[in-house]
């Protein structure tokens, strides 16, 4: 198991427990400023969890294929916990926005109330839209990091394959050199063998001629 993954996992556990603990206790905070500060603190903790999940995702990409499934399951489980915290936080933030917008000032009546109510609803809608946009930006950033990691792994694989191909090519060139040398040696041996045959034939012919000369000298 990656040591870095274990380190990020430990940090994540601390951060998610911190976020859950603050989510449980924030309802007891009545003062608006302190409550807003507590919510910001929870948001910071959940953002830290997301950053740690990004780091864990990067580490998982570097693990052997037979281990990735196990750790991807872990990361998905952790992400589910973060999403649950984010959902609760969003609800608390919406409630806080409503409280700050309406508050004790929401005591008038008449047509003015309808106008203010529309303005408040518009503000709340805009705030929710901004939150969704921020979430999409964070998701896009995570996807970009994951894509960058996958691209880096692919480049490393291609580099390793190129080195293997270069090594195989060098081996083939070396083998081709040995084959050329072997062919030259065989050709040289073939030429020598042919020359030796002609020399042998010449010697045999000379011996035959000498024999005939000896025989002829005896009869003449």
**Which structural domain, as residue segments, surrounds residue 40?**
3-107
Give the predicted TM-score (pTM) of the model.
0.45
> Is pLDDT at 1 greater than 60 in this prediction?
no
Q: Cβ distance 121 to 106 under 8 Å?
A: no
Which of residues 80 and 111 earns the better pLDDT score? 80
Q: Is 157 inside a domain boundary?
A: no
Q: Give the pLDDT of residue 5.
A: 82
Q: Give the pLDDT of residue 143.
A: 78
* Both structure tokens of 78: 């952790």
The DSSP letter of residue 29 is -
Q: Is 43 inside a domain boundary?
A: yes
The domain spanning residue 28 has which CATH number?
A: 1.20.58.400
Q: Cβ distance 43 to 89 under 8 Å?
A: yes
Element (H, E) at 153: helix 111-219
Q: Is 169 inside a domain boundary?
A: no
* Both structure tokens of 36: 């807003």
Q: Give the pLDDT of residue 67.
A: 81
CA–CA gap between residue 45 and residue 22 (Å, rounded): 9
Task: Count structural domains, the chain.
Answer: 1
Q: Is 125 inside a domain boundary?
A: no
> Is pLDDT at 112 greater than 70 in this prediction?
no
Average pLDDT value for residue range 176-189? 86
pLDDT digit string, tens, across residues 68-102: 888 888 889 999 999 998 888 888 887 777 766 66
> Is pLDDT at 114 greater than 70 in this prediction?
no
Q: Is 210 inside a domain boundary?
A: no
Which of residues 57 and 142 earns the better pLDDT score? 57
Which of residues 93 and 183 earns the better pLDDT score? 183
In the predicted model, what is the mean pLDDT of the chain? 80
Q: Give the pLDDT of residue 106.
A: 43
Percent of the chain scoring above 90 in pLDDT: 5
Band of residue 107 on the pLDDT scale cut at 50, 70, 90: very low
Q: Cβ distance 92 to 56 under 8 Å?
A: no
Q: Is 147 inside a domain boundary?
A: no
Q: Cβ distance 58 to 149 under 8 Å?
A: yes
CA–CA gap between residue 138 and residue 134 (Å, rounded): 6
> Is pLDDT at 138 greater than 70 in this prediction?
yes
pLDDT digit string, tens, across residues 160-179: 888 888 888 888 888 888 88
Q: Is 27 inside a domain boundary?
A: yes
Phi/psi of residue 99, each to 5°? -65, -45
Percent of the chain scoring above 70 in pLDDT: 83
Q: Cβ distance 94 to 124 under 8 Å?
A: yes
The DSSP letter of residue 104 is G
Among candidates 93, 74, 79, which has minimal Cα distance to 23?
A: 93
Total residue count of the chain as it appears in this document: 220
Quote the Cα angle for 150-156-159, to 5°: 140
Q: Is 21 inside a domain boundary?
A: yes
Q: Cβ distance 15 to 49 under 8 Å?
A: yes
Average pLDDT value for residue range 37-53? 87
């Amino acid at each position: 198991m990656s040591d870095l993954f274990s380190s990020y996992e430990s940090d994540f556990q601390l951060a998610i427990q911190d976020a859950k603990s603050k989510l449980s206790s924030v309802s007891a905070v009545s003062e608006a400023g302190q409550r807003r500060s507590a919510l910001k603190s929870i948001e910071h903790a959940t953002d830290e969890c997301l950053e740690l999940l990004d780091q864990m995702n990067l580490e998982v990409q570097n693990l052997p294929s037979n281990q990735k499934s196990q750790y991807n399951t872990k990361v998905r489980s952790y992400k589910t916990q973060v999403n649950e915290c984010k959902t609760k936080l969003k609800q608390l933030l919406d409630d806080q926005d409503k409280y700050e917008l309406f508050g004790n000032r929401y005591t008038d009546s008449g047509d003015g109330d309808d106008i203010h109510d529309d303005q408040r609803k518009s503000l709340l809608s805009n705030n929710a839209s901004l939150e969704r946009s921020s979430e999409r930006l964070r998701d896009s950033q995570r996807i970009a990091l994951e894509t960058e990691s996958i691209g880096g792994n692919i480049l490393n694989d291609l580099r390793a394959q190129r080195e293997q191909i270069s090594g195989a090519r060098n081996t083939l060139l070396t083998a081709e050199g040995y084959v050329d040398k072997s062919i030259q040696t065989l050709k040289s041996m073939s030429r020598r063998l042919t020359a030796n045959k002609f020399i042998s034939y010449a010697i045999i012919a000379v011996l035959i001629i000498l024999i005939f000369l000896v025989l002829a000298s005896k009869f003449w």
